[in-house]
Structure 1
Amino acid sequence: MRISNRVGKTPALRWNSWFVDLGLKQLGYKYVSIDDCWSQESCNGSGYLVPDPSKWPNGIRAVVDKIHGMCLKFGLYSDAGIETCAGHPGSQGYEQQDADLLGSWGVDYWKYDNCYTLCNGENPVPQRCCIPRDSQAWYTTLGNAFRSVNYPILYSLYSWGLDNVWTWGGSMCLKAGPTRQTGYYT
């Protein structure tokens, strides 16, 4: 589901090195998005996400500027839990810090997964699980953080079709207004 405010008109397309040459840009695809493992396996001493220098020798901002120079938009991935699905740092407890960092880099799209969050009350250890649970609070925390960032970011709530995201996901985005962010969830 998409909020009608001009952002996210087409499905977000993942990385394709022939993006422009194949004519995908002319068909309306605008987002070049990098999934898990783009960051180092730990944050820096201040808790900030750090791009893996072997993959991003000039940093994220240099790549974003190049993508924007091609009239395309750039996206990254993270997680509502303490780790991403592949074990890199998640955003739990650092939502505002991560939102501010993304805005400073000019990131246009943020895929937000749901790994390493609490699965149920019986097992309080965060873990990967594919069972319905109440994930609305995790997604709302980052949604609130995005509201204070003065940069429009397409916020993709990814929960593998669980947790009835389609019933509440759009409402958190409507509060932000059409110039700040929009919601897209799967």
Structure 2
Amino acid sequence: MGWNSWNHYGCKVSDAIVREQARAMATNGMKAAGYEYVNVDDCWQGKRDAKGFIHANGRFPDMKALGDYIHSLGLKFGIYSSPGPQTCAKYEGSYQHEKQDAETYASWGVDYLKYDWCSARRVYKPSEMPAVYKKMHEALVATGRPIVYSLCQYGMDRVWQWGPSVGGNLWRTTDDIEDNYTRMAFIGFGQAGLAKFAGPGHWNDPDMLEVGNGHMNADEYRTHMSLWCILAAPLISGNNLATMSQETLAVLANPEVVAIDQDPAGAEGYRVSQEGPLQVWVKPLADGSKAVGLFNGGESAMPVTVRFKDIGLSGKVSVRDLWKRNDVGDFSGSYTAQVARHGAVMIKVK
């Protein structure tokens, strides 16, 4: 769980912006909800020195000092690179400097690396991808510093099948998300079938959260958050934490919803039924209960029903609404909720 600069700031990111976002995370309830990584995405890189070591550009005068500041808030520091000669924004990549870059990141106190394929396609064959990602993993391990390793290669070559073997803690399963319902839903519901590849320490990553960036409505953002939590997805916010509304904070930091994502069993949810635009997904939880998402991708409010036999339950079943944070009651056979257009109802049943 954490924050990443790309979705909201792109290449306008700077030391001052990252510090502001870290301060906000530490004080506005996000840290208390479990968010801890403050990740600088693309566009921080400057040039290499005569010995080949990377330095940050002028927007980041002292990366170690930035890392120290983030750590002083009880948070963790993330950074970004590419195995190619250039990043996606055409800044300096890590090609042929993997060991040096890993050592530099460790010296700065980095706790998380997002490694984005980008220009690597110009210098490597697709078949070399696992070895390329393993090379940086080994360089990170050699530093002796624990660094979360995020593979970003857009789900090519069924990365979910080999990501763990090259040291990946999480791997993107698709191309980039956008702040609109159509793209978010395409990515989120497109995770169907990937649950068996995820578990503690190695996660499918449907990309960062767009909650609060302004181009979806409240129901759509609740769908976004609900689906990502059912999927046990990494929760990396991508909005402006310093200026977000209380409504946005309530979506990102609802403790009962976040608890589903962070459940210690680490099980990824899966789809149990679909009727046109109406879908039911379930996520098994460590305490034996189950989280259920009732989703309406249609153009009007409609009832969505979960049949308890479809999720392995019988007899009387207690239902709790996680967004409303109240107990709904006991039900037999099924539970039906009226779900808003592009909306979601998220319940916990046992």
- The TM-score, its normalising length taken from structure 1, stands at 0.77
Aligned Cα RMSD in Å? 1.9
**Does 2:161 match 1:158?**
no
- Give the whole-Å Cα distance in 1 for the aligned partners of 2:105 and 2:117: 19
Helix, strand or coil at the partner of 2:156: coil
Alignment of 1:78-97 (within 5 A): 78-97=81-100
Instruction: Tell which has more relative contact order, 1 or 2 (C-alpha 8 A, sep 6+).
Output: 1
2:31 pairs with one of 25, 31, 50 = 25
**Does 2:4 match 1:14?**
yes
Match of 2:45 in 1: 39
Instruction: Tell me, yes or no, if the aligned pair for 2:26 and 2:75 is still in contact at 8 Å.
Output: no
Match of 1:105 in 2: 108
| Structure richer in helix, relative to its length | 2
Q: Which runs of 5+ in 2 are unaligned?
A: 6-17, 173-350
Amino acid at match of 1:49: I
Alignment of 1:69-80 (within 5 A): 69-80=72-83
- Give the whole-Å Cα distance in 1 for the aligned partners of 2:157 and 2:116: 12
Give, in angstroms, the shift of residue 163 of structure 1: 2.3
- Give the whole-Å Cα distance in 2 for the aligned partners of 1:64 and 1:23: 21
- Give the whole-Å Cα distance in 2 for the aligned partners of 1:126 and 1:112: 16
Give, in angstroms, the shift of residue 172 of structure 1: 2.5
Greater gyration radius: 2
* Superposed CA offset, 1:58-105 (max 9, x none): x10001001000000011100010110111111111111111111111
- Give the whole-Å Cα distance in 2 for the aligned partners of 1:126 and 1:23: 44
Helix, strand or coil at the partner of 2:64: helix
- The TM-score, its normalising length taken from structure 2, stands at 0.42
1:170 pairs with one of 164, 168, 191 = 164
**Does 2:53 match 1:48?**
yes
**Does 2:170 match 1:184?**
yes
Match of 1:133 in 2: 126
- Give the whole-Å Cα distance in 2 for the aligned partners of 1:61 and 1:13: 19
Amino acid at match of 1:26: A
Paired residues, number: 155
Amino acid at match of 1:38: W
Give, in angstroms, the shift of residue 19 of structure 1: 1.8
Alignment of 1:108-127 (within 5 A): 108-118=111-121, 125-126=122-123
Give, in angstroms, the shift of residue 144 of structure 1: 1.2
Helix, strand or coil at the partner of 1:19: helix
| Structure richer in strand, relative to its length | 2
Give, in angstroms, the shift of residue 126 of structure 1: 4.0
Q: Which runs of 5+ in 1 are unaligned?
A: 1-9, 119-124, 174-181
Instruction: Tell me, yes or no, if the aligned pair for 2:56 and 2:63 is still in contact at 8 Å.
Output: yes
